[in-house]
Structure 1
Amino acid sequence: MPSETISFRATCLRALLYILLIAALAQGIYLEVLYLPDARLSEHGFTEYAESTLLAASVALLAYVRFGLRQLPTVSLLMMAFLGASLVREQDALLDTYVFDDAWQILVSLIVLPSLYVVIRRRAAFLAEFERYANSFSFGLFAAGFLVTYVYSRLYGRSEMWVAIMGDGYVRDIKDAAEETTELLGFTLILFAVIELTLLAKRRLAAQK
């Protein structure tokens, strides 16, 4: 019977691939700042597009876990709704321009509320799934990505902190760079978590056969 554990060789290979992706993103930020001064760290810059791409990939993989592999259906649904809402939130400027102001709030509500209803209705199944998921490598990565993106980057990117650090030499671009790149790292960790969840779901599916 296939095992749910991860071999040392597979762990090393995935670690290498994750390191390469982080290095590529860091290099992309550097090239953005170097060669795209008018777009850097803006809604049309590499960093913002990379964040949206990471979120879109995470949502797609979670949809595969839930609808394709049919594993952890309520946990994957909640995660998919949360990251889908984050993806919509990242497009707020685009939606404000081409739809109407604050359109993202309505779209987020349409994603989150039905998903929460399903999870609450199936709360017993959700708790059972969560107990299994909470002991996985994927959950540790997801928790780290969540804390980096939604807690640390918000606190780290506060204007008053950077004013205190730089004093009269305060430059908003530096503050924005610190916040956006930290957020990008958090989204990257979340993608890694979702990749690990997908692989875990495939191993569990194989173990059930």
Structure 2
Amino acid sequence: MSPPPAWPIGFQTILVRAVLYVLFIGAIAQGAYLEALYLPSVRFTELGFTEFTQTLVLATCCAMLIYIRQVLKVWPTVTLLLLAFVAASLVREQDHSLDNYVAENTWKVLVALIIFPSLFWVVKQRQRFIEEFAHYSNTFAFGLFTAGVLTTYIFSRLYGRQEFWLAVLEDNFTREFKDAAEEVIELLGYSLILIATLELLLLARRIYKAKQLST
């Protein structure tokens, strides 16, 4: 496999993206604030802004990864693994609804149906995966995706521990503090994954155009 083209990105383009990403992160923070201010009955629950935005962000990531894999056909094994991870996260976010309106532990079955076949295919195509990952791991998108995963699945869980907030708030503890801390940090992590997926999409388009020009 030949390496992807080294198409430099202009400073002006990078600056525009940076400004848009700052505005986006600011918007989700402001959204969480407005949720706490104006939606006291549903704030930081499955019906609130934060949880809904998490679902929207993950669904958008899935759509972009499907486009990269099926239309642009760039790094299909890497994008399959990323898609499986994001899709499993999307299903996991619906655990409350699935458990209540379908059946207990439905989300676990759906996650297994997503993860195991994808892992099987990646292992079967492991040589191709290694070649693709050698390129992907050296991109800005990979660094952002990793940061998003660490923020969502490590930091938010530890930061949102009930023991931590009991130690901080002592007798003033209510579960709302814990839920707000964990859900907002989780949304930040998912937002980093969204930006990483968008960066991957933009890179994939450059690679796709380079292939079209060379044929």
Q: With structure 2 as the length reference, what TM-score do the two structures score?
A: 0.94
Q: Which amino acid aligns with 1:77?
A: L
Contact 1:3 1:203 in 2 (8 A): no
Other-structure match for 2:149: 146
1:50 to 47, 50, 53: 53
Other-structure match for 1:104: 107
1:13 paired with 2:6, answer no
SS at match of 1:39: coil
Contact 1:66 1:73 in 2 (8 A): yes
1:95 paired with 2:98, answer yes
Other-structure match for 1:195: 198
Q: Work out the CA distance in 2 between the residues paired with 1:85 and 1:37.
A: 29
The alignment of Structure 1 onto Structure 2 pairs a total of residues equal to: 208
Other-structure match for 1:159: 162
SS at match of 1:37: coil
* Regions of 4+ moved over 4 Å: none
1:72 paired with 2:75, answer yes
Quote the offset at 1:5 in angstroms. Answer: 2.5
Q: Work out the CA distance in 2 between the residues paired with 1:51 and 1:6.
A: 30
Other-structure match for 1:179: 182
2:140 to 134, 137, 142: 137
Other-structure match for 2:127: 124
Contact 1:58 1:194 in 2 (8 A): yes
Q: With structure 1 as the length reference, what TM-score do the two structures score?
A: 0.97
User: Structure 1: 5+ residue runs without aligned partners?
Assistant: none
Identity %: 52
Q: Work out the CA distance in 1 between the residues paired with 2:140 and 2:10.
A: 13
Q: Which amino acid aligns with 1:110?
A: L
Contact 1:3 1:207 in 2 (8 A): no
Other-structure match for 1:81: 84
Quote the offset at 1:3 in angstroms. Answer: 4.7
